[in-house]
Structure 1
Amino acid sequence: MTTLQDRPGTALLVVDVQNDVVREAHARDAVVANIAALVERARRERVPVVWIQQGDEELVPGSEGWRIVPELTPRDGEPVVHKTHCDSFEETTLETVLAAHGVGRVVVTGAETDACVRSTLHGAFVRGYDTILVGDAHTAVDKSRWGAPPVEQVIAHTNLTWTWQSAPGRTAGTVGTADVDLTGPLPG
């Protein structure tokens, strides 16, 4: 269980599912649909949905490319955390938002697998959170022209490595959208 005291709650994190980030992403529509299903389930189960939104010189705040995709719309009152680094915790209000909701366990979805998703997973885990990755609810664009493996392999590798993540007092894991339990313990 989490190493954070008195933080039994879970939150769904939706990382950088913004127009320009996922425009050419692998399996974009399927991933966005899986995230949408999780968002609706979280809302029904009264689990906080926390939206993460990157802003920088390429994703100019307020621009169309910076906006969260139209299929996913934050509701009034749902926190939107703005960031400038890959790790959603670095120089943001994310920790404050999660603490206010009593969250010690995060369920992570979004983009890009090999950058902000991985950084946020590790950022949460080293800060004491139980951390689950939804294996079919994250994506990336193909970076093979720069020497990266094909995006399908990047996703598969991330899912595999997060399945075996461990540290004292914390749990981690990877599950599919259909198997996410937003209110119970991580798979053991």
Structure 2
Amino acid sequence: MTTLEGRTESALIVIDVQNGVMEGAHDRDAVVANIATLVDQARADDVPVIWVQHSSEHMPIDSDGWQYVPELKLGESEPVVHKRYPDSFEDTDLESVLADRKIGRLVIAGAQTDECIRSTLHGAVVRGYDTLLVSDAHTTEDLSEWGAPTPDKVISHTNLYWSNHQAPGRTAGTATTAEVSLGDSPSH
């Protein structure tokens, strides 16, 4: 269980599912559909949904690329964390948003697998959170022309190593959209 005292709640963290990020993403439609399913489940179970939204020189705030994909509708009371770095905790208010809600377990979905997803997973564990990666609800673009593995391999490898990740007093792991329990279950 989390090393964060008194933080027994869970949250769904949706990272960077924005037009500019998802434009060339591997298996985009299936991943977005899985994330929509997770969001619906979280809302039905009264589990907080926290949206993370990246901005950069190439994806400025309020641009079309910066907007969340049209298939996902953010709830009016759901927090949006704005970031400029891969780790969703770095120079953001994510930690205070989670602390205010007594959240110690994060269920993570979104993009990009090899950058913001991995950075946030590691950032969460280092900070004491239990972290569950939804194995069929994250994606990335094809960067193989620059020497990276193909997106399917990046996703598979990330799922493999996160399913075996360990840290003292914290849990990590993966589960498919169908397997995820957004309650306080330590297994999935």
TM over 0.5: yes
Deviation at 1:186, TM superposition (A): 2.9
**Native 8 Å contact 2:9 2:184 kept in 1:** no
Aligned to 1:121: 121
Deviation at 1:73, TM superposition (A): 1.3
Distance in 2 separating the partners of 1:118 and 1:92:
17
TM value normalised by structure 2: 0.99
Aligned to 1:22: 22
Distance in 1 separating the partners of 2:29 and 2:38:
14
Q: How many residue pairs get matched? A: 188
Deviation at 1:90, TM superposition (A): 0.3
Percent sequence identity over matched residues?
58
Distance in 2 separating the partners of 1:161 and 1:145:
24
Matches within 5 A, 1:111-150: 111-150=111-150
Q: Does 1:78 align with 2:67?
A: no
Q: Does 1:13 align with 2:13?
A: yes
Distance in 2 separating the partners of 1:186 and 1:116:
24
Indicate the RMSD between aligned Cα atoms, in angstroms. 0.8
Aligned to 1:172: 172
Aligned to 1:51: 51
Distance in 2 separating the partners of 1:56 and 1:92:
14
Matches within 5 A, 1:93-104: 93-104=93-104
Distance in 2 separating the partners of 1:186 and 1:109:
18
* 1:153 aligned partner, one-letter code: K
Aligned to 2:109: 109
Deviation at 1:185, TM superposition (A): 2.2
Aligned to 1:152: 152
**Native 8 Å contact 1:173 1:186 kept in 2:** no
3-state SS, counterpart of residue 178 of structure 1: coil
3-state SS, counterpart of residue 36 of structure 1: helix
Unmatched runs of 5 consecutive residues or more in structure 2: none
Distance in 1 separating the partners of 2:28 and 2:65:
15
Distance in 1 separating the partners of 2:27 and 2:93:
30
Aligned to 1:62: 62
3-state SS, counterpart of residue 178 of structure 2: helix
Unmatched runs of 5 consecutive residues or more in structure 1: none
Deviation at 1:184, TM superposition (A): 3.0
3-state SS, counterpart of residue 177 of structure 1: coil
